[in-house]
Amino acid sequence: MFSFLKSNPAQKLKKRHSMLLEQAMQAQRNGDIRTYSRLTAEAEEVFKQIQDISPSKT
């Protein structure tokens, strides 16, 4: 009944994933390739967590 009050961990991870990709893009534009690589790798890890949490749609 009150499912809208429950926290959604996948939603939090999607927001973090989006933020990391945005930061990576800014680092790449600034020429900071090391930071870009680190942030992209971290975003990939978060994406894997999202896939583990989300139910498969097959």
Indicate if the alpha-carbon torsion angle 18, 19, 20, 25 is positive or negative.
positive
Element (DSSP H or E) covering residue 9 = helix 9-29
pTM above 0.85, yes or no: no
Summarised one tens digit per residue, pLDDT across range 12-58 is 999 999 999 999 999 999 999 999 999 999 999 999 999 998 876 54
Backbone angles phi, psi at 56, to 5 degrees: -70, 145
Instruction: Look at residue 40 in the predicted model and tell me its pLDDT.
Output: 98
Instruction: Look at residue 1 in the predicted model and tell me its pLDDT.
Output: 57
CB 13 within 8 A of CB 46: yes
Instruction: Look at residue 50 in the predicted model and tell me its pLDDT.
Output: 94
Token pair for residue 47? Answer: 């994406």
At 2, the pLDDT band (50, 70, 90 cuts) reads: low
- Residues 39 and 31: their CA atoms lie apart, in Å, by 14
Instruction: Look at residue 31 in the predicted model and tell me its pLDDT.
Output: 96
